[in-house]
Amino acid sequence: MRQGDSLRRFSDTQGHPRVAVDVVIYTLDRRALQCLLVRVKEGPFAGEWAFPGGLVGAEESLDQAAQREVYERTGIGNGYLEQLYTFGKPERDPATRVVSVSYLALVSPHGIRLNPASKYAGIQWRRADRLPGLAYDHDQVGRLALKRIRSKLQYTNIVYSLLPAEFTLGELQEVYETILHRSLDRRNFRKKILALGLLKQLRSKRRGTHRPASLYAFSRRQPMIIEML
């Protein structure tokens, strides 16, 4: 069969491709980078785990559809969101022809309210470096997302979206060490971070069993390109 005949045959039986978004949502919990998974409820991959997502509404942009999915699943509406890549192999969804635009999202663990609604059979956080085999082409999506976040932490300030409004320098360093999987020199890290001028020291301190620790906040909680490490 000629290629043109094959394409016409596919279009006649399946119709035009649908457009969807899939979102890899990360947060930090139990000193590990966690990734949100949902259990597929129906179709060829019923019972398997995947990243949350869905079809783009007629009146939505791609970003709006991804933002909606993050909010509906976590209750967080002000996290970091970035488009990753477009996946469009015809065989990626055996049920129908779907082109999916993948996104990376970062949310603070504070205030999360997980909600699978009726759309999914389940929802849970899993360690980003220990994900099970995923439905569709989401194994590939997950590898790309993890590589992207580890890279961008080093030349952007997006770490702010994983932290609460107030934090210690030790907590900030722990975020980097957790995601990058390597230790950072405490003195050099603090010197570099403070020299960037991204943080403001607060009057209050974190008190506990050890000496009080100074609290900091980001002067701006907006993404920017800057050499963090």
User: What are the boundaries of each domain within the chain?
Assistant: 3-141, 156-218
**Token representation of residue 105:** 């999202």
Long-range contacts of 150-155 (CB under 8 A, 24+ apart): 150/179, 150/180, 152/82, 153/179, 153/180, 153/228, 153/229, 154/180, 154/227, 154/228, 154/229, 155/225, 155/226, 155/227, 155/228
Q: Write down the mean pLDDT value for the chain.
A: 90
Phi-psi region of 35 (alpha: psi -120 to 50; beta: other; left: phi over 0): beta
pLDDT in tens, 37-93: 999 999 899 999 999 999 999 999 999 999 999 999 999 998 999 999 999 888 888
Same fold, 3-141 and 156-218: no
pLDDT of 113-148, one tens digit each? 999 989 999 999 999 999 999 999 999 999 999 999
Dist CA 147 CA 153 (whole Å)? 10
Helix (H) or strand (E) holding 135: none
**pLDDT tens readout for residues 102-116:** 999 999 998 899 999
Q: Which CATH code for domain 3-141? A: 3.90.79.10
CATH fold for the domain made of 156-218: Arc Repressor Mutant, subunit A (1.10.10)
Helix (H, G, I), strand (E, B) or coil at 128: coil
